[in-house]
Amino acid sequence: MAANTVADHLTEAPFVLALQVLRRLPSSIVRPLARSLAAVAPKSAHPVFMLASHAAGDESGLLARFEKLLTNPVAPVRSIRAAEVALAAGQPAWADKFLDRVASDKKALGTIARRKWFSGDMSGAVDVLEGPDGHVRKQRERLRSELQIFRGWRPELNENKAEVRQARVLHLLTNSVPHTGSGYARRSHSILSAQKAAGWDPLAVTRLGYPVQIGVLSAKDEDVVDGIPYRRLLPKSMAKSMGGRLQQQAEALLDVSQQFRPSVIHTTTHFVNGVVAHEVAHALGVPWVYEVRGQLADTWASTRGEDARNSERYRLFKEREAEVMCSADLVVTLGESMKQSILAAGVPEDRILISPNAVGGSYLDEPIQHHDARRALGLDVNALYIGTVSSLVDYEGLDDLVTSFALLAPRLSKLRLVVVGDGTAAPALRHQAKLLCVSDKVIFTGRVSAEKARLYHQALDVFVVPRKDLSVTQQVTPLKPVEALACARPVVASRLDALSEIVHDGINGRLASPGDPEDLANVLHELLEDEGMRLRLGAAGRQGVLATRTWEANALAYGRAYETLISNNVRKAS
């Protein structure tokens, strides 16, 4: 399975594969090696050195290599490769410049199609590849299949009803612990654990091919984490098309369900999970729940500019999400802002349940003092620390945080910035800190364990959530600030509807204007200068979280909702 995945990427998009591999390796290894490699040939426009500049976070160096290649006559294949690197690095405008040189070259068809696909022109990408050319046939069939799914294709299953077992819930997940440590995976595990404690019998099943397809070659058919079973769907071979794989997944999930016999099926965004869960639940004759954890069409568009919101992919993505939500027996979401979006999609209010991001486990324990956490992490106990624990992606606004820190550092000599996590924006953030001459005061930890993340929460004086003002951030409520509040640390966040549901200005934290580093710096300075205010806001934050945001409370709400669905389903069947 892993070999076939690698082979497909090598054939169609080798530079994307190279960057994905580099992003999964420890940044402490990749970035020094990438810098060293880029320094070997600082003016070379060879794709290897382009990728090295990007992996090292030297975007100016990457653009200089693009510029050099563009100003010199080169063979068409070099322009095609440069366009591939530009797309892999998220630089579509540069890809366009190189593709303009080779627009009539048949060898460029695959890259031209990828450029259209990148911007959301799905039909245009497929049209480019139409014809007898054998070298693009696999790519054409793969893209055509995905387009069909975005247009409403569904797997087909025969009805296979069986007697259900009470209080059994099957969760279909995109990824999970222990192989993925994201907020998505941790929320799922918290829900499953709380449901088990509340008397339910949960089983998690992850998507077809996971976790082998993310590089876990030693994956087993099942993992058990804290008593929660995670079943893996790992066939000997996977279909080449997306439609074929979803049909495989639906059939495999139905097989698992016939053995487990759940009384309800529960899945999460995005819509392909919902499509599979819907068909399996219908075949079994049981109700199903769709949990909307994000607006993934907006997440996709946020990396491509405003034009993406007018694209075919965005429109179809939104249509399919609305269709899946309306077909579910219950829609669960994280907060009031997301609920309004779900109502606008046509889901009746009585079929929506809010289950906010919450805390449990060690976060319920009394937090340790700042200096104790800092000693455990090897940090200066006498310094002032601001920071965040986050995925390092553009919409999180961490570039604004680095700029704000650079404004504050001259005024507060003991101030340090801690950025916990990793992601596509990490190289650029490191480079930004270097350009602003604050690298010696900024700590980038990379990915850390969940327990270590909690220590970093407790080591901070102020936790910061500087999200950009985008559609995705206006509605989605993140988990990390809730955990920071549980640790009795005040939170400074962007003034966005979703964040205002968590952070109440002057009560458990402060709000600042999104995309305004100077205003963020001023708010942080006021808070850093007043220890009494920090302690008061932190204490109020912890008290509020313990009263309103625990996984135990969420599990009870899920249980009541499930029981209603099951009871209604029994009445309809009779």
In tens digits, what is the pLDDT along the chain, a chain of 574 residues? 667 666 665 566 676 777 667 766 777 788 889 989 999 999 899 999 999 998 888 888 999 999 999 998 889 999 999 999 999 999 999 999 999 999 999 899 999 999 999 999 999 999 999 876 666 888 999 999 999 999 999 999 999 887 899 999 999 999 999 999 888 999 999 999 999 999 999 999 999 999 998 889 899 999 999 999 999 999 989 999 999 999 999 999 999 999 999 999 999 999 999 999 999 999 999 999 999 999 899 999 988 888 999 999 999 999 999 999 999 999 999 999 999 999 999 999 999 999 999 999 999 999 999 999 999 999 999 999 999 999 999 999 999 999 999 999 999 999 999 999 988 888 889 989 999 999 999 999 998 988 999 999 999 999 999 999 998 899 889 999 999 999 999 999 999 999 999 999 999 999 999 999 999 999 999 999 999 999 999 999 999 999 999 999 999 999 999 999 999 998 887 6
pLDDT of residue 253: 98
Report d(CA 86, CA 63) in Å as an integer: 9
Residues 6+ positions from 262 with CB-CB distance below 8 Å: 164, 165, 168, 169, 170, 203, 284, 286
pLDDT of residue 12: 62
Residues 6+ positions from 151 with CB-CB distance below 8 Å: 316
Give the domain ranges of the chain: 2-150, 168-354, 364-548
Residues 6+ positions from 297 with CB-CB distance below 8 Å: 314, 317, 318, 321
| 504-to-485, 495, 499 alpha-carbon distances in Å | 11, 10, 9
Nearest CA among 315, 319, 271 for reference residue 291: 271
pLDDT of residue 202: 98
pLDDT of residue 11: 62
Q: ω into residue 54 within 30 of 0, thus cis?
A: no
Report d(CA 197, CA 226) in Å as an integer: 11
Q: ω into residue 178 within 30 of 0, thus cis?
A: yes
Superfamily of structural domain 364-548 = Glycogen Phosphorylase B; (3.40.50.2000)
Strand partners, 228: 225
Cβ-contact 439, 402 below 8 angstroms: no
Q: What does the pLDDT look like over 162-172, one tens digit per residue?
A: 789 999 999 99
The one-letter amino acid at 371: H
pLDDT of residue 13: 65
One fold for 168-354 and 364-548: yes
Residues 6+ positions from 101 with CB-CB distance below 8 Å: 76, 79
Topology (CATH level 3) of domain 168-354: Rossmann fold (3.40.50)
Strands 415-420 and 384-389, bridge-based pairing: parallel
Q: What does the pLDDT look like over 536-547, one tens digit per residue?
A: 999 999 999 999
Nearest CA among 462, 467, 442 for reference residue 527: 462
Nearest CA among 193, 149, 146 for reference residue 169: 193
| 361-to-78, 151, 189, 193 alpha-carbon distances in Å | 54, 42, 11, 10
